[in-house]
């Protein structure tokens, strides 16, 4: 197989073997990048019903363009074999990390949990259910960025498609309704993620036994040991959330990824304010063992650190939490938080006689918290100026979790998300043009993406493909950069870091232009123009 091709991809090496087929590292010579190729087992590919299902599921997975979900590039058929080309991931999966009792800090674990929920919320908003969430399907890059893999593919190994002797799902992470053979929905994903979070927080499986049948019995009939019995330092709000995610009855469970994300964001704020030992008022209390004398979980409750990531096309996930402070909801009937259409609207439906929802006005912050907030906003501002819009959005969201009334954090978040939305559309146009083999349309789409986000990873990846064909565009970018530089000089503002950074990129662009690297020059001129435009602005 090594050295052969699947579609346009040359196989470099075999990565692994799964229930569905084999996984290979391959090279895409057109885009000069390495990808992962997942092939579908021949006995599945030979069934017309399965083939159609594969196409539908692959299409669903391919439309999930999010920083915390693996990117699907292409799916098709080659020499009678179904395959899917996707992002090649470095790093390790969460299964290996947990086996090594990593990560050890609460900050790092909570960061992973939030990222997982961001990806899950985005998928659920697009009506895609994973059905087989487990640590092995959650990849953690060296930077700490999470990538959920195999979205939309689990159904291919579901009850309707089980081959003889094949286990349906992964017993330790299956929901009770999956065990009963019922159709899995978003609530089933929530249960599976509850099992993952339990294991991440305690390094013990929520439901474990010597045999598969014993595991399934526990999933159906037994409650896992209280988290704080196994890990006394885990903050109480996180234990509450996991218990709510593991409710046996789907109707009593957290309903989807957006609600789980909102609950985690509320817990993050509570923990960050030093109240890690206090339960969230709108969640059922967890089963908590007596606390050992001298135990203080609040020592783990530091503010969550920024998590790195390299995707510039991060779509906005459930912006409902952005303007209203920590969202809250109740399992079992006190109040229901409805995240309406992911359109940024939070609606409370209060049951007669129930207490009103908690105030979402930001708490007064002390001097230290204010300093942390200002630092977080400054980080977001620098990422925005540097063209790292995904990181700018993440840092701005962290600032808003500290103080939802921060106007500057809101401005940065809105601007970053606006560019992300534009660059996502531009990137899709570029990928579509390249897939069609239309060179003229590809060059036009590349230039469109560069104008919106010159540092976008896809723009960087495609630069070498267009080096000799962007001379006119580079000249136009040079002219616009020159106008922006002149305006910055005439404004009377100090030649601070932004101007100096812009000038450095201008000189690099000039060198590229002289060497005939016109696509590189165009990108650097646009980047320099953007920096000059920000000179003198707060």
The residues, ordered by sequence, that sit 6+ positions from 218 with a Cβ below 8 Å of its Cβ are 207, 208, 209, 224
Lookup: tokens for 332: 């079992």
**Mean pLDDT, residues 147-163:** 58
Distances in Å between the alpha carbon of 411 and those of 145, 284, 374, 419, 537?
24, 36, 14, 12, 13
pLDDT band, residue 265 (cuts 50/70/90)? very high
Higher pLDDT, 182 or 375: 182
Question: Rounded distance, CA 359 to CA 366, Å?
Answer: 19
**pLDDT tier at 9, thresholds 50, 70, 90:** very high
Q: What pLDDT, on the 0 to 100 scale, is given for residue 194?
A: 98
Distances, alpha carbon 207 to alpha carbons 51, 54, 256, 349, 386, in Å? 34, 31, 21, 34, 46
335 pLDDT above the threshold of 90: no
pLDDT digits (tens, 9 = 90+) for 363-373: 333 444 565 67
Beta strands 138-140; 92-93: pairing state: antiparallel
11-36 average pLDDT score? 87
Domains of the chain, first to last: 5-87 (3.30.200.20), 92-161+168-286+304-360 (1.10.510.10), 410-533 (no CATH)
The residue among 330, 337, 331, 333 whose CA lies nearest residue 351 is 333
Q: Which of the four pLDDT bands, split at 50, 70 and 90, describes residue 3? A: confident
Q: What is the mean pLDDT of residues 289-302?
A: 39
Token couple for 487: 């305006």
3-state secondary structure 419-456: HHHHHHHHHHHHHHHHHHCCHHHHHHHHHHHHHHCCCC
DSSP 3-state assignment of 138?
Answer: strand
Element (H, E) at 189: helix 186-202
Q: What confidence category does residue 506 fall into, taking pLDDT thresholds of 50, 70 and 90?
A: very high
CA distance 403 to 513: 45
**Residues tagged active-site:** 132
Report the pLDDT value the prediction gives residue 183, as an integer from 0 to 100.
Answer: 84
Tokens of 464: 């070498």
Answer whether residue 360 shows pLDDT above 80. Answer: no
Average pLDDT over residues 62-87: 88
Q: Dihedral sign, CA of 442, 446, 74, 190? A: negative
What's the pLDDT tens digit per position in 366-404? Answer: 444 565 677 778 888 888 877 788 888 888 888 888 788
Task: Please give the average per-residue pLDDT across 140-166, as a whole number.
Answer: 65
pLDDT value at residue 356: 36
Q: Which residue has the higher pLDDT, 494 or 283?
A: 283
Residue 169 has a pLDDT of 55
Burial zone of 465 (CB within 10 Å; 0-12 exposed, 13-18 middle, 19+ buried)? middle
pLDDT (0 to 100) of residue 383? 82
């Amino acid at each position: 197989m090594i050295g052969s091709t699947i579609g346009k991809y040359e196989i470099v090496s075999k990565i692994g073997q799964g229930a569905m087929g084999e996984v290979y590292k391959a090279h895409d010579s057109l885009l000069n990048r390495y990808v992962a190729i997942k092939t579908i087992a021949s006995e599945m590919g030979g069934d017309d019903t399965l083939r159609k299902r594969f196409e539908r599921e692959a299409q669903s997975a391919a439309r999930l363009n999010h920083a915390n979900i693996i990117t699907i590039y292409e799916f098709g058929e080659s020499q009678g074999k179904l395959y899917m080309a996707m992002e090649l991931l470095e790093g390790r999966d969460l299964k290996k990390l947990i086996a090594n009792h990593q990560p050890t800090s609460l900050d790092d674990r909570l960061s992973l949990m939030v990222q997982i929920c961001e990806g899950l919320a985005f998928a659920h908003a697009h009506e895609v259910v994973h059905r087989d969430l487990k640590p092995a399907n959650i990849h953690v890059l060296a930077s700490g960025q999470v990538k959920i893999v195999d979205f939309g593919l689990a159904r291919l190994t579901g009850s309707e498609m089980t081959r003889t002797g094949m286990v349906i799902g992964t017993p330790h992470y299956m929901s009770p309704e999956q065990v009963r053979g019922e159709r899995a929905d978003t609530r089933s994903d929530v249960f599976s993620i509850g099992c993952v979070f339990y294991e991440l927080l305690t390094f013990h499986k929520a439901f474990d036994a010597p045999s598969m049948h014993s595991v399934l019995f526990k999933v159906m009939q037994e409650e896992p040991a209280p988290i704080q019995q196994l890990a006394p330092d885990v903050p109480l709000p996180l234990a509450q959330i996991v218990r709510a995610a593991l409710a046996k009855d789907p109707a009593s469970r957290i309903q989807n990824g957006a609600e789980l994300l909102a609950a985690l964001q509320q817990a993050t704020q509570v923990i960050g304010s030093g109240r890690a030992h206090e339960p969230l008022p709108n969640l059922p209390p967890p089963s908590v063992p007596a606390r050992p004398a001298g135990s203080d979980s609040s020592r783990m409750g530091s503010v969550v650190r920024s998590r790195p990531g390299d995707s510039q096309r991060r779509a906005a996930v459930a912006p409902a939490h952005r303007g209203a402070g920590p969202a809250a909801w109740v399992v079992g009937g006190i109040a229901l938080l409805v995240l309406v259409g992911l359109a940024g609207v939070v609606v409370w439906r209060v049951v007669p006689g129930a207490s009103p929802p908690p105030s979402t006005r930001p708490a007064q912050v002390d001097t230290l918290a204010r300093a942390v907030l200002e630092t977080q906003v400054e980080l977001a501002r620098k990422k925005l100026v540097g063209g790292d819009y995904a990181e700018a959005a993440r840092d701005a969201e962290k600032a808003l979790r500290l103080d939802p009334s921060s106007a500057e954090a809101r401005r940065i978040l809105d601007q970053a998300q606006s560019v992300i939305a534009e660059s996502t559309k531009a990137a899709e146009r570029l990928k579509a043009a390249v897939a069609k083999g239309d060179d003229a349309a590809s060059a036009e789409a590349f230039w469109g993406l560069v104008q919106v986000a010159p540092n976008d990873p896809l723009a960087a990846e495609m630069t070498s493909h267009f080096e000799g064909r962007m001379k006119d565009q580079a000249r136009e970018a040079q002219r616009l950069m020159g106008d922006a530089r002149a305006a910055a000089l005439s404004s009377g503002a100090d030649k601070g870091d932004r101007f100096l950074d812009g000038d450095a990129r201008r000189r690099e662009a000039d060198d590229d232009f002289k060497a005939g690297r016109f696509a590189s020059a165009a990108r650097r001129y646009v980047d320099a123009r953007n920096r000059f435009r920000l000179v003198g602005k707060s």
